[in-house]
Structure 1
Amino acid sequence: MSVEYREEPCRSALNRVKGMPFDWSLNPYTGCAHRCTFCYVRAFEARADRPSDDRYGRSIRVKVNVADVLRRELARPSWKRESVAVGAATDPYQPAEGRYRLTRACIRELGVGRTPFSLITRGPMIRRDVDVLVEAAQRAKVHVSFSVPTLDERIWRATEPGTAPPRRRLETVRILTDAGIDTGVALAPLLPGLSDEPALLAEVVREARAAGASGIWANVLYLRPGTREHFLEALARDWPELLPDYELLYEGRAYLSAAEVEPVREEVRALARATWAPRRPSITPAPDAEQLRLAV
């Protein structure tokens, strides 16, 4: 699949977020070449009247000046070093990062600015940036989450066509944790009747723990308009026998109820507790230097 890369400057790097466990988001790219069938960003693209179907991921906006803009925003006297999520709406380590290195540059700026950040990715390319992650973690709290919904090869190939193999992601978890980076694994999204099978959940949790994952959590698929149409179309192609079940399960709603989701989350939590093992401590940020007052 050919991908068009549009080099376009941005006016702002940080975006204010409400109702989330982080205060700001940062996305060096718009669009994602991973093309996951369940990607929730497709819903936002549809609302913005941009392609959310098979055309999604074929045109990537590259914010070529994002690190420079970020540096200026972090230098403002009003900046309070609130938490920043890198990659909330695009994978910061999709293939474009290999050429443009924008995520790497932003991590460096966040570290210099002593700004805590989390980063979520499916891209093993992050191992290239262990050096800047370590530098940043010595100045502020850093957390990396790897999304590994399943190790089942058929499910992975069908639902995450542009991503690296899940086991390669877990190898990268080990590399990051060995370097002292706080790294967890997210089983998200889990697909009802597919990747939420107990044996598949246990396999991911076991391998994630073996890789040194500090935390393991799960979430179940939600289907907003835009994502819904594309996912169900892909489901009809790859697992047609499940299509009626999904149409009934998600009829009139995007999110499953807590009563439906919580048992799966609790099963993952129980597996995580059962496989807990001591791990190498993560890097702890050094405290800010105190300015000495001169006696008068």
Structure 2
Amino acid sequence: MRVEYREEPCRSALNRVKGMPFAWSLNPYTGCAHRCTFCYVRAFEARAERPSDDRYGRSIRVKPNVAEVLRNELARASWKRESVAIGAATDPYQPAEGRYRLTRACIEELGAARTPFSLITRGPMIRRDIDVLVEAAQRAKVHVSFSVPTLDERIWRATEPGTAPPRRRLETVRLLVDAGIDTGVALAPILPGLSDDPELLAEVVREARAAGASGIWANVLYLRPGTREHFLEALSRDWPELVPQYEQLYAGRAYLPSSEVMPVKETVRQLARESSRPRKPPIRPAPEPEQLELVV
């Protein structure tokens, strides 16, 4: 698949976020070449009147000055070193990062400013940046989440066509943990009737724990307009027998009720408890140097 990269300088790097466990988000790219059929960002693209169908992921907007802008924002006297989430609306380690290295540059800036951050990705390219992640973790809290919804090869290939194999992601989890980076695994999104099979869930949890994942969490698919149309179209191609089930489950809503979601989450929590094992403790930030007063 041919991907177009468009360089568009940004005016701001940090985006204020409300109602989430983090205060700020940072996305070095807009659009994602991974082209996951279930990606919730497709809904945002549709609202912005940009392609959310098969054309999504064929044009990536690159912010070439994002690290410089970030440096200036972190240097402001008003900056309180609140937690920053990298990759909330794009994968920071999609193929474009190999060329532009913007995520790496942003990690360097966050570490230099002693700003805590989390990062979620499906991209094993992150192993290239273990050195700057370690350096940042010595100065502020750093957490990485790898998204691994399933290890089933058919489900992976059909629903995450532009991503690296799930087991390669888990190999990368092990490398990060061994380097002292606090790293967890997200089973997200879990797809009803497909990846919610208890044996498939148990396999991911078991392998994630074996890789040393510090935490394991799960979320069930939600379908907003924009994402819904593309996902159901893909589902009709790969698993047509499941289309009526999804149309009934998500009729008139984007989120499933807790009665459908909580049993799946509880299954994953129980599997994580049963699969727990001793793991290498992550790097803890060193205390910040104190400013001594000069007494005359």
TM-score (norm 1): 1.00
Match of residue 216 from structure 1: 216
Matched, 1:163 2:163: yes
Shift, 1:258, TM fit: 1.1
Matched, 1:273 2:273: yes
Match of residue 30 from structure 1: 30
Aligned-partner residue type, residue 46 of structure 1: A
Deviations 1:94-113, CA, capped at 9 Å, x for gaps? 00000000000000000000
Shift, 1:156, TM fit: 0.1
CA RMSD of aligned residues (A): 0.4
Shift, 1:71, TM fit: 0.3
Inter-partner Cα distance in structure 1 for 2:89 and 2:240? 29
Inter-partner Cα distance in structure 2 for 1:154 and 1:248? 24
Inter-partner Cα distance in structure 1 for 2:87 and 2:292? 38
Deviations 1:59-105, CA, capped at 9 Å, x for gaps? 00010000000000000000000000000000000000000000000
Inter-partner Cα distance in structure 2 for 1:52 and 1:41? 8
Matched, 1:51 2:51: yes
Shift, 1:246, TM fit: 0.3
SS at match of 2:51: coil
Matched, 1:88 2:92: no
Match of residue 7 from structure 1: 7
Shift, 1:259, TM fit: 1.5
Aligned-partner residue type, residue 243 of structure 1: V
Match of residue 237 from structure 2: 237
Shift, 1:133, TM fit: 0.1
Match of residue 130 from structure 2: 130
Match of residue 201 from structure 1: 201
Match of residue 76 from structure 1: 76
Inter-partner Cα distance in structure 2 for 1:5 and 1:295? 57
Match of residue 295 from structure 2: 295
Aligned-partner residue type, residue 95 of structure 2: P
Inter-partner Cα distance in structure 1 for 2:275 and 2:225? 38
Shift, 1:287, TM fit: 1.1
Shift, 1:293, TM fit: 1.0
Shift, 1:286, TM fit: 0.6
Matched, 1:172 2:172: yes
Runs of 5+ consecutive residues of structure 2 not aligned to the other structure: none
Deviations 1:208-265, CA, capped at 9 Å, x for gaps? 0000000000000000000000000000000000000000110000000111101100
SS at match of 2:163: coil
Inter-partner Cα distance in structure 2 for 1:48 and 1:100? 25
TM-score (norm 2): 1.00
Inter-partner Cα distance in structure 2 for 1:164 and 1:118? 21
Runs of 5+ consecutive residues of structure 1 not aligned to the other structure: none
Match of residue 186 from structure 2: 186
Inter-partner Cα distance in structure 1 for 2:239 and 2:126? 32
Shift, 1:2, TM fit: 0.4
Shift, 1:36, TM fit: 0.1
Aligned-partner residue type, residue 173 of structure 1: V
